[in-house]
Amino acid sequence: MTLVLLDTNAYLRLAKRITPLLGVKFGQKDYTLTILKQVEDEVHKNPRLRFLYPWFDDPVFAKERIITRVRLNKNEKEQLNAVTSVLRQHVLSNVDTYTSQGRSPPSPTDCFILAFGQIRPAIVATDDLGMHQLAKDFSIPIWHGHELLKKMLSAKCINNDLVREIYDAIETNNDLPRTWKEAKHTVFKKIFGPAA
């Protein structure tokens, strides 16, 4: 099994339309999606996210998250704390890199998610460009959300109609990341056709 860890935005972009999403094995490497409790906390603490994603606390979604939640032992927590501090310090030591070319400096929670990817290990799925740069600097495996979508499509977990529906919903929410925009007519050329 290869664990794939979704960050908050990646989860919110996919969870409503792909059900079940978490804990389901797919692809040759038995990819299995999961999220951390921190994601749950982030949504609960954020009225804007709760307003935009009112389905988040529906029992079906809440139950799926609880059942598939990864639990850490004491050693792993110590490792996670140590690795998070190194990642965060790297961001602060290279702050110019992390505030250019559309990147934002990964927050302590972002660093925690990447640290988890390093410890377990897991592939982190996020559209945050700062996190992608950080993962690259430390050779931590990472996917863009659209790459995850493509893997799920290839594994026939989802079909073309659902990809179209997900794109439509994200565009309607004015939430389409630049990387998804670029992938629309390249990675998903068969569905959306070439760029006009």
Partner 1 sequence: MRKAINTDAIRAALSKHGLTQKELANALGVSSQAVTNWLKGNDFPRPATLLKLASTLRLTFEQMVQTDNVDRPVIAFRKKGNAKTTNAHVAKAEEIGILLKPLVPYLTEQQALRTLITSPSIDYNKLKVAVAQTRSRLGIGEQAVLEYEHLIGEFKNSGAVLIPVLWGAKQRHENALHIRLPKEDITFIFLNLDTRLEDFKFWMAHELAHVYTPDLSGTTQGEDFADAFSGTLLFPRACAEPTYHEAIQQASAEGVIRVLLTHANEHMVSLNTVFQQIKLFAKSSNLVALEIDERTIHAVRNNNQGPLISEALFDPMPPEPKRFIAACEHAFQSDFFIALKRMIHESGIGASYVQQVLDTPMQDAFALYEELRH
Interface residues with partner 1 (CB under 8 A)? 42, 45-49, 75, 78-79, 81-83, 85-90, 92-93, 95-96, 99-107, 110, 118-119, 128, 130, 137-139
Tokens of 169: 């919903």
Select 85 or 160, whichever has its Cβ closest to partner 1: 85
Residue closer to partner 1 (CB basis): 52 or 62: 52
- Which is nearer to partner 1, 103 or 150 (by Cβ)? 103
Q: Is 170 exposed, middle or buried (0-12, 13-18, 19+ CB in 10 A)?
A: buried
Rank residues 17 and 90 by Cβ distance to partner 1 and give the closer one.
90
Q: Which residues contact 125 (CB under 8 A, 6 or more apart)?
A: 4, 5, 6, 7, 10, 33, 142, 143, 144, 145, 147, 148
DSSP H stretches of helix in the chain: 8-14, 37-45, 47-52, 59-68, 74-93, 108-119, 129-137, 145-154, 160-172, 178-184, 189-192
CB of 99 to partner 1, least distance (A): 4
DSSP 71: -
3-state SS record for 136-158: HHCCCCEECHHHHHHHHHHCCCC
CB of 55 to partner 1, least distance (A): 18
Residue number, 28 or 101, with CB nearest to partner 1: 101
Question: Least separation, in Å, of the C-beta of 136 and partner 1?
Answer: 10
Least spacing, CB of residue 106 vs partner 1, in Å: 8
- Taking the complex as a whole, the smallest distance from the CB of residue 133 to partner 1 amounts, in Å, to 12
**Pairing of the two strands 25-26 and 2-6:** unpaired
